[in-house]
Amino acid sequence: MVSEYEIKKQICDIGKRIYDRGMVAANDGNISVKISDNEFLCTPTGVSKGFMTPDYICKVDANGKVIQANAGFKPSSEIKMHMRVYKERPDVQSVVHAHPMYGTAFAIAGIPLTQPIMPEAVIALGCVPIAEYGTPSTEEIPDAVSKYLQHYDAVLLENHGALAYSDSLLSAYHKMESLEFYAQLLFLSRQLGGPKELSKAQVERLYEIRRQFGLKGKHPADVCPNVKAGLPSCHNCGGNCSCSSSAAADGDLVAEITRKVMEQLNK
Ligand code: 13P
């Protein structure tokens, strides 16, 4: 079991990485880690995330209320956004918010990252939607992000930045890094005359690989089989939908019954 102090050190390491990689400027960005159902460690507000030491890190409850913070430190102003992710995605153990240059440029231009241009981005992220603009620190951002939480592990925040979340701190950070790399490649290939996109069949093969790997999290590859069968999505299976065969079979049955009813009506 990793000690709380060790997790605080890991948060500082990731803070340094996002700062050193230019994914944040000045005091931007925030990071949190869930340590129990009602305890979360988070970065403090208004400090450079590249120069933190473990004593900077605050502890809050599931409502974002302070459990422990050293003198001079208050939890991130975006703690409500983090808490909404944990509330609506029980599988998530860590949330990373940053303003990576290319991802944020797409968020400002209002262009979601949807073009399938390289296998790694397709497998890791699928696509990255844009959550509608909200005023930082208010409930507007959590409300805007909420709509996408059950379908994606990373979102752009309109005119603001990016948010990634996963089952570990390192994995949440990696999603942020993948998002930025994808955005950068998309930007550059657009300068070179536009990307040559992967075909639908190529994308579907990559999705199949993702499913075979049993990768956790939410991803377009994991669209509930109910949807494929024309039924409402359950979207609650964490991507490893155990209802796959029965839902698909049910869908086939419904389609068959509908066809027969239509045949009778048309007679
Ligand atoms: P905090 O320093 O309060 O976490 O805010 C930084 C930020 O990036 C707000 O969007």
Is 101 a domain residue? yes
Is 230 a domain residue? no
Is 151 a domain residue? yes
**Domain CATH for 95:** 3.40.225.10
Model pLDDT for residues 23-76, shown as the tens digit of each residue = 999 999 999 999 999 999 999 999 999 999 999 999 999 999 999 999 999 999
Is 236 a domain residue? no
User: Mutate which of 14, 78, 155, 157 to test ligand 1's pocket (most atoms within 8 Å of Cβ)?
Assistant: 78
Tell me if residue 78 is catalytic. yes
Is 249 a domain residue? no
Atom of ligand 1 nearest to the CA of 136: 10
User: Mutate which of 76, 95, 133, 176 to test ligand 1's pocket (most atoms within 8 Å of Cβ)?
Assistant: 76
Please, where are the H alpha helices in 29-168? 79-88, 101-109, 119-124, 140-149
Ligand 1 centroid to Cα of residue 139, in Å, is: 14
**What's the mean pLDDT when you consider all of the chain?**
89
Is the pLDDT confidence value at 254 over 50? Answer: no
Report pTM.
0.86
Domain housing 47: 4-191
Residue 225, φ and ψ in degrees, nearest 5: -60, -25
Q: Under 8 Å CB-to-CB from 254, ≥6 apart: which residues?
A: 229, 230, 231
Is 206 a domain residue? no
Is 166 a domain residue? yes
CB contact burial 198-232 (16+ within 10 A = b; e otherwise): beeeebeebbeebbeeebbbbbbbbbbbbeebebe
Catalytic residue among 4, 6, 78, 132: 78
Question: What domain count does the chain have?
Answer: 1
Model pLDDT for residues 183-231, shown as the tens digit of each residue = 999 999 999 999 999 998 999 899 889 989 999 999 988 765 555 666 6
Is 203 a domain residue? no
